[in-house]
Amino acid sequence: MASRRVFPLIFGGHIKEASKTAKVFNKFTGEPFAQVGLATRDEINECFEKAHQSEHHLASLRPHARAEILTHLHALIKKNSKEFAELIALEAGKPISGSEIEVVRCLATLTDAIKEASSATPDGSWREFTSEAGRYSMLSRRFPLGVASFVTPFNFPLNLVMHKIAPAIAAGCPFVLKPSDQAPLSAVFLGELLAQTNMPEGSFSILPCANEDAPLFSENERIKVISFTGSPKVGWSIQENAKRKKVILELGGNAACIIDKNVGDLDAIVSRLLFGAFFYSGQTCISVQRIIAHEDHYDTLCKKLAEGAKLWNSRQGDPMNKETMIGPIIAEREAIRIEEWVNESVEKHGGKILVGGKRNGSFYDATIVTDVDKEAKLWKQEIFGPVATIHKYSKFEEAIDLVNESEFGLQAGIFTNDLQKSFYAYENLVVGGVVVNDVPSARVDVQPYGGVKSSGCGREGVKYAMEDLTEHRVMVTKEISYYSKE
């Protein structure tokens, strides 16, 4: 099994043994189960230089050639699906059922990239126009920006990597990627498979590194565009220091979900709320953190959510077990932080724990807290854990205002049978995406995905990421449709 060996560097499209390695830990047992190579500063800079030198070669590949590379990669990942799922469960602590779903989503993302790469003239246009100087024809196409630098998080160590590299290959941008130091193996294994394709020499690298060397992924002068997924503190710091580089940021949020008075099956809604709040122990950027319920449904929802959370808590355990619903938090220090935030909400901000609220090592219970005031961290910040708060409202406009009382704006959900309220929410919620009749945790991988306010800038989804990785180039020709008459 690949997870029982030393994982190499992916260095300019080749597999390279590293001079220094780091242990990767099984998040359930706390024991090391593999090692991964760490790139040195010189190696990181050399890979950016290699990527720069490959810019013309990759950009000049015809669309069908890029699509063939992606198609080959799709076949290799599909063949190794089981190993990818096991790696995700071990290194990220994600229950195996969710890890298997992540592999399926990765393949779907790649399928979308194959379709987009196959376009002969992505977003190309041809126009004719006249001016005082004569008649002109104009051709406009998008061309790759050049070297891309990618930084990805631990929580989706395969699919979020694919959301970076698939659009880059489809658009013709060479790249250097730094995976999370907490869960780097899926990305490296993916790089090993990509090395088996016809990607041009030097056009890609996947380089885990020491924390002190991570700034090179935003500072290197060869970088034309940076795409970062992670914490707001680091992301906005990258943008502030990016100089002339283009920056794309996905920085999370504290997603809210409205339950309108006019809804039908509360049991079905509760099932989705539980999934949205507690899947992967709430360690997703669009986990349901704030439930905003109409006063007519508030008491019933509290009762049903508490009953459901108890079921989730009864199935804590080893992520490799198919029955597990709640796995470990990525690190015990993060579980301690979650515990502190919940306790603070009770001690200082009026909160009442409806269910959960207990920590055992790196595990934290599925937890629901009521009556939290708006100064609590549980309301204002991103918990990134299996904790949801529930609040009541009477008027729909009040619910919209409650959602918007956040520095974040990634996605929001609304359950309603009222079409007018759906459009009112769409037009008035200050977020990147509004999900109607489902939780904000629902992400369709082809959608333009991203946030506003402190949640970031730019969009993922292959087509939309390709727009961020490319720029328009225009060719204007005078009197192309005229000819001399004898």
Q: Alpha carbon of 448 to those of 177, 235, 338, 354, 463: distances in Å?
A: 22, 19, 30, 36, 8
Q: d(Cα 385, Cα 310) in Å, to the nearest integer? A: 16
Q: d(Cα 411, Cα 363) in Å, to the nearest integer? A: 26
Q: Verify whether residue 250 is a known catalytic residue.
A: yes
Which residue in 430, 423, 435, 464 sits closest to 447, CA to CA? 464
Q: Are strands 359-360 and 470-478 parallel, antiparallel or unpaired?
A: unpaired
Q: Are 121 and 198 in contact (CB under 8 A)?
A: no
Identify the active-site residue in 55, 86, 250, 334: 250
Which residue in 408, 468, 416 sits closest to 433, CA to CA? 408
Q: d(Cα 335, Cα 282) in Å, to the nearest integer? A: 11
Which residue in 89, 118, 263, 107 sits closest to 185, CA to CA? 89
Q: Which two tokens stand for residue 23?
A: 């242990």
Which residue in 152, 187, 208, 206 sits closest to 22, CA to CA? 208
Helix (H) or strand (E) holding 106: helix 96-117
Only one residue has tokens 């990767």, namely 24
The strands making up 367-370's β-sheet, listed across from edge to edge, are 352-355, 367-370, 387-393, 290-294, 256-259, 411-415, 433-436
Identify the active-site residue in 257, 285, 302, 457: 285
Phi/psi at 14 (5° precision): -120, 160
Query: Environment class of residue 132 by beta-carbon count within 10 Å: exposed (0-12), middle (13-18) or buried (19+)?
Result: exposed
* Catalytic residue IDs: 250, 285
